[in-house]
Chains A and B, each alone.
Chain A
């Protein structure tokens, strides 16, 4: 507001979006394809850290980071314990560990019991990320055949964060998005393409004020 009074000939930019410091994404069955679609939408200058929990086999070869790295212009890596969470970076939870975020915005791991039969659990990431980032977090629930992520999304919303869910009608598996929507905590329910666009906006560096 104040800016426009300084310089009246520059039209005030109306931001239709908010920039998120971190974006937490959860997915399960069919998640790889969905992740590829949304990660392709990351803008060249990405202001956010993207943190992903995808349910994978505990002892399976962890190919996810390599597969995602091909589709995305940012570094993709497995989150290391105590590593600082950096913007413009995509992180994936290691298999068989829960991934959490500490208040100082660093990663933490745990081998606590499975939540919703899975480890890593989306709920565990979302709860701790909501605590750390509050309203600067966006939580996204994608395709999956499990109800993990629903309670977590509620926690994100409660902390003032922004919540998005993939439209279950177009999802490979609709259980997870449906469960998330059923909590009533979803700000927007969008088909994958629209969701990708929204994600792009969330990560965009706001234009410099003149």
Chain B
């Protein structure tokens, strides 16, 4: 008899195929091990005991789609995560952006917005916020709504405050939000500078020319083929000598994309677009 886990692997395949054929969301090139966890978590949130039973609902209940996407792209982020990276951006990237009268920034995979607000705070402190147009994109509509609201739990505040200081924050973190009954909300002044939009790195293309792309801990969820595709998309989207910032544990080596970008800071994972097309 076939092992249960092998049957489950077939079901995962069918589930992802159904999602793609019915709605065009292609998760088939996501890294398998973590995707499996997420698919099984999606199942665990339903009354069904097998994925096969969930497929009819996925196919026929359009309202269920948003829920599935939210489950499959679990948004976990924090403000000024890896403070040294933000410090490096402040020291190595912002001075270059300063030479532009106007510039565009794209955060790909913004989830619930913690990171893009961190960036906005930093731009503000460097006097660059007014010159910046920031695009923050994700495939998760639920997360995008939360990001747009800019409302976060007070529980995380002490950690964020600490991160902000370590990232070289120049003011008081409390200058950037209004606190209210267990929550704090990022100031309108910052929120209004960011356009939150739906964009799928798997299937959507270039939407504007940008001077900085922030995409941290997104590529780790993609297989090599998809990583390569997305790095190509970033290369195309960046202006000449534009900057790319990846997650600290990510690498260009695995998909041999070193020819596309030159390292600026290997620890903070900041790169610059290479002129020569590979």
Residues of A within 8 A of B220 (CB): 81, 108-111
Are B37 and A81 in touch, CB under 8 angstroms?
A: no
Are A111 and B5 in touch, CB under 8 angstroms?
A: no
Are A112 and B33 in touch, CB under 8 angstroms?
A: no
Interface residues on A, range: 20 to 34
Are A113 and B74 in touch, CB under 8 angstroms?
A: yes
Residue of A nearest to B221 (CB): A110
Question: A-B contact count, CB below 8 Å?
Answer: 56
Determine the main DSSP class of B at the interface with A: helix
Chain B contact residue count (CB 8 A cutoff): 21
- CA distance in complex: A97, B34 (Å): 12
A116 at the A/B interface (Cβ < 8 Å)?
A: no
Are B34 and A100 in touch, CB under 8 angstroms?
A: yes
* Closest chain B CB from A92 CB (angstroms): 13
Interface-side segment among A42-50, A68-76, A124-132, A194-202: A124-132
- CA distance in complex: A82, B225 (Å): 13
Are B249 and A80 in touch, CB under 8 angstroms?
A: yes
Given contacts A108-B34, A111-B217, A113-B76, A82 and B224 within 8 Å (CB-CB): yes
Residues of A within 8 A of B251 (CB): 80-82
- CA distance in complex: A159, B3 (Å): 9
Question: Which listed residue (A94, A112, A127, A131) contacts B74, Cβ 8 A?
Answer: A112
Given contacts A110-B220, A111-B217, A112-B76, A127 and B37 within 8 Å (CB-CB): yes
Q: Name the 9 nearest CB pairs between A and B, nearest first.
A: A100-B33, A110-B34, A128-B33, A82-B254, A111-B217, A109-B220, A108-B33, A108-B31, A113-B76
Known A109-B220, A112-B74, A128-B34; further 15 A-B contacts with Cβ < 8 A: A81-B251, A94-B249, A97-B249, A100-B33, A102-B33, A103-B33, A110-B221, A111-B217, A111-B220, A111-B247, A112-B34, A128-B36, A128-B37, A131-B5, A159-B5
